[in-house]
A and B are shown apart, each in its own frame.
Chain A
């Protein structure tokens, strides 16, 4: 069973517009959420994170929103730039059972920002 779901395999937006990437989760024990960005032939790089005690975290053009009741989070990129084109992975960490080292990833969303 997939505990972290990214239902959109791909997303295409125009440069300067907003990109919204969505992520849903099922495990109520997840207490920390992360977004990673991955370019081809490179490993994922950490982008932004949010603790379950917050509902929003902002870092420059990137904002992550968390809706715990809906078990949903989203990543907003404003304004989108061509260099943002990459695969974005949503990941979550559970703090139960001493497993806070383990990240559970979604399948990723390929974002393409068109000039």
Chain B
């Protein structure tokens, strides 16, 4: 498919474990964004990449969260020592160019449940 894909679609983990969430952006999109949606909340911006660089990491909730992007394509969001409050849907979006907010195309998300 030509859209943004994310894997896994669902992840259940135990408190204290590490998890990796993957995002495959639309081919050719240079900008990539991570958001999360906790229960009953709106989407919360986490981090964005322009190419492989992440100039603004201020949205990451804690130092247990990290993200990387390689080859200007796939991105991985890693959560170490997961906590129950990390349970949420993690959404990835990409855009052809940086800064074009309405051009962000979202993936289906990864639903993370921390027991």
Contacts and interface: CB of A to CB of B under 8 A. Distances in A.
Interface string A30-51: 0010101000011111100100
A102 B43 contact: no
Contacts, number: 63
A93 B4 CA distance: 22
Given A43-B4, A43-B109, A44-B91, A102 B48 contact: yes
Interface in A1-18: 2, 4, 6
A20 interface: no
Contacts of A99: 56
B101 A101 contact: yes
A99 B56 CA distance: 9
Interface in B46-78: 48, 56, 59
Nearest to B101: A93
B104 A42 contact: no
Contacts of B43: 44, 89, 91, 103, 105
Nearest to A47: B102
B102 A4 contact: no
A103 B91 contact: no
Interface residues of B, number: 27
Contacts of A32: 101-102
A52 interface: no
A103 B104 contact: yes
Contacts of A41: 9, 108
B41 A42 contact: no
B1 interface: no
Contacts of A105: 35, 42-44
A3 to B, nearest CB: 10
A107 interface: yes
A102 B43 CA distance: 11
Q: Lowest 7 CB-CB distances: which A-B pairs, in order?
A: A43-B106, A105-B42, A105-B43, A93-B101, A107-B42, A49-B102, A100-B99
Given A36-B106, A43-B106, A102-B56, 6 more contacts: A32-B101, A34-B101, A34-B102, A43-B93, A46-B104, A108-B42
